[in-house]
C-alpha cells in the first residue's frame, strides 16, 4: 500500500535577482499597517532601506521593532509579542536571520490570543494564525523562512526548545541574495553549516520521505558545492545566491522530515553556554556523522553518487567515508571553532550536558543510530 506524505510550504516564494522588488505584489491585500521585525545588526548593515522604500510605496504606514534579541529566550520573544500586540499593525515583515524570523512567527500566532510563548512550550498546537508574515532571510541559513518551527531558549532548563506548529509557516518569502551580500564571514560560515546540517540530518532522518529526500539532497549538493566560495569571496554572488536557495530547500526538508542528533545535542550548548546555533552544530557535525556512519552508510553513499560520482570511491564504505570527510573538511576550511574549549565548557559540565541533550527526544528519535546517554557522553567528551 502506498504511504501518505504531506509537504507544507509557504504561501508564495519569490526568489532570484531583485526578488525584493516583488514585495508590493505580495503585500497588496494584507492590510495597511506593517510591523517590521528586525535587529540592530541588520539595521546597522543598511539592509532595511530597500524594505522601507517598498513599504513607503504601499501605504507608507509601518512600525519598526529593531531591537529583537539574538537567539531569544521565551521571555524575550514574549516581550516582542507584547510590543507587537500594542502596535496595531496588521501583518509582519521579518527581515533577519532565524532569531528575527522565529520571533515574528511567535508574534503571528499570539497577536490576538491571551496565551503566551511559555504556554506554547507545552502546548504548541494551541497556536493559530492571527496575522500574516512575510519572511526576508538575511542569513543562509536557518531555513526558518520555510519551517513551522520557532526556537527559543528556556533559561531554567538551560536548553533551547523548538515550538512546532504549521500555523507558523510563512505566508510569503523573499529570497534576495543582496540581503546576504555583506554578511560577515564568520556568520556566513556558521549559518551556512547550519543549513548543511539541516540537509544531511533530514536526508538521514528516520522521518524522511520522498518529498524531504528531494529537497534535502538538492540542498546538500548545492551547499557542499557553494559554501566555501560563498564564504571566502565577498563578490561571489552566484554562490551566495545558491546558498540562499539551498538553505530554503533545507528548511523545506525540515518541514517534511526533521533534524537528528547534531541538533539535539546542540540545543544545550545554545541554551546554557549561548554558543551560536550554527557554531554549536558545526562543532558537533563531524563527531555525530562519524557516530552515525554505520547506520547511515547507504544514505551517505547515495549522497556521494549524486555529488561526486567521479571522485574515485567504489564501495559503499568508501563513498560514505568520502561524504563524512568532505563535511569535516568544510568545517575546517571555514575556520569555525571545532571544540568547546574556547567557550569555557569543561568536564565538570559533562553530566548536565548529557542530561539536557537526552531530553531532546523530539529530535533524537529521528536519528538512525540510537543515541544512549553513554554515546552522548562520548560525543561531548570528544569535542571538549
Total count of residues recorded for the chain = 384
Among ligand NAD, Zn ion, none, partner that 183 touches (CB below 5 to 8 angstroms by kind):
ligand NAD
Q: How far apart are the first and last CA of the chain?
A: 48
Distances (CA, A) of 310 to 304, 306, 329: 9, 10, 18
d(CA 307, CA 326): 11
Q: Is 194 in the site for Zn ion (CB under 5 A)?
A: yes
Query: Shortest distance, CB of residue 312 to ligand NAD, whole angstroms?
Result: 34
Per-residue mark of binding to Zn ion, 137-176 (x: CB under 5 A): ----------------------------------------
Q: Nearest CA to 145 among 308, 336, 11, 297?
A: 11
Query: Shortest distance, CB of residue 144 to ligand NAD, whole angstroms?
Result: 3
Query: Shortest distance, CB of residue 96 to Zn ion, whole angstroms?
Result: 15
Footprint of ligand NAD (CB under 6 A)? 39, 41-42, 45, 47, 70-71, 96-100, 102, 138-139, 141-144, 147, 149-151, 160, 179-180, 182-184, 187, 191, 194, 254, 277-278
Residues facing residue 135 across a β-bridge? 94, 173
Query: Shortest distance, CB of residue 141 to ligand NAD, whole angstroms?
Result: 6
Distances (CA, A) of 99 to 191, 235, 244: 12, 26, 16
Q: Residue 182, Cα to own-chain centre: how many angstroms?
A: 19
Q: H helices within 74-159, ranges in order?
A: 74-87, 98-110, 117-122
Q: Provide the CB-side half-sphere exposure for 208 (13 A, CA).
A: 23
Q: Which stretch binds Zn ion (CB under 5 A): 189-197, 290-298, 319-327, 336-344?
A: 189-197
Among Zn ion, ligand NAD, none, partner that 150 touches (CB below 5 to 8 angstroms by kind):
ligand NAD
Query: Shortest distance, CB of residue 262 to ligand NAD, whole angstroms?
Result: 11
Q: Find where cell 504561501 sits.
A: 11
Q: Closest CB to ligand NAD among 160 and 272?
A: 160
Q: Which stretch binds Zn ion (CB under 5 A): 13-21, 41-49, 188-196, 304-312?
A: 188-196
Residues that bind Zn ion (CB under 5 A): 194
Amino acid at each position: 500500500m502506498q504511504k501518505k506524505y504531506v509537504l507544507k510550504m509557504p504561501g508564495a516564494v519569490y526568489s532570484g535577482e531583485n526578488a525584493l522588488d516583488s514585495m508590493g505584489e505580495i503585500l497588496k491585500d494584507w492590510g495597511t499597517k506593517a510591523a517590521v521585525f528586525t535587529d540592530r545588526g541588520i539595521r546597522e548593515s543598511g539592509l532595511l532601506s530597500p524594505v522601507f522604500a517598498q513599504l513607503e510605496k504601499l501605504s507608507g504606514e509601518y512600525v519598526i521593532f529593531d531591537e529583537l534579541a539574538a537567539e531569544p529566550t521565551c521571555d524575550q520573544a514574549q516581550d516582542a509579542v507584547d510590543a507587537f500586540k500594542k502596535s496595531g499593525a496588521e501583518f509582519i515583515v521579518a527581515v533577519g536571520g532565524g532569531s528575527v524570523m522565529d520571533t515574528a512567527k511567535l508574534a503571528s500566532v499570539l497577536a490576538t490570543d491571551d496565551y503566551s510563548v511559555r504556554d506554547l512550550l507545552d502546548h504548541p498546537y494551541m497556536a493559530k494564525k492571527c496575522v500574516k508574515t512575510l519572511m526576508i532571510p538575511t542569513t543562509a541559513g536557518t531555513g526558518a523562512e520555510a519551517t513551522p518551527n520557532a526556537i527559543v531558549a528556556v533559561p531554567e532548563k538551560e536548553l533551547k526548545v523548538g515550538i512546532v506548529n504549521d500555523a507558523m509557516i510563512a505566508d510569503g518569502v523573499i529570497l534576495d541574495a543582496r540581503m546576504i551580500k555583506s554578511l560577515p564571514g564568520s556568520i556566513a560560515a556558521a549559518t551556512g553549516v547550519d543549513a548543511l546540517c539541516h540537509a544531511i540530518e533530514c536526508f538521514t532522518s528516520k522521518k524522511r520521505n520522498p518529498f524531504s529526500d528531494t529537497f534535502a539532497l538538492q540542498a546538500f549538493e548545492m551547499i557542499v558545492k557553494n559554501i566555501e566560495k560563498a564564504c571566502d569571496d565577498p563578490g561571489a554572488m552566484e554562490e551566495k545566491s545558491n546558498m540562499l536557495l539551498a538553505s530554503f530547500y533545507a528548511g523545506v526538508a525540515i518541514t517534511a522530515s526533521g533534524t537528528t542528533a547534531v541538533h539535539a545535542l546542540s540545543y544545550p550548548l545554545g541554551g546554557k553556554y549561548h554558543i551560536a546555533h550554527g557554531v554549536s552544530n558545526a562543532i558537533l557535525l563531524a563527531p555525530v556523522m562519524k557516530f552515525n556512519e554505520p547506520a547511515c552508510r547507504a544514505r551517505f553513499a547515495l549522497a556521494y553518487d549524486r555529488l561526486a560520482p567521479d571522485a574515485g570511491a567504489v564501495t559503499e564504505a568508501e563513498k560514505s567515508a568520502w561524504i563524512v570527510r568532505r563535511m569535516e573538511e568544510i568545517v575546517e576550511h571555514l575556520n569555525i571553532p571545532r571544540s568547546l574549549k574556547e567557550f569555557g565548557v569543561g568536564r565538570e559540565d559533562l553530566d548536565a550536558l548529557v542530561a539536557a541533550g537526552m531530553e531532546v527526544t523530539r529530535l533524537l528519535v529521528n536519528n538512525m543510530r540510537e543515541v544512549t546517554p553513554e554515546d552522548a557522553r562520548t560525543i561531548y567528551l570528544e569535542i571538549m
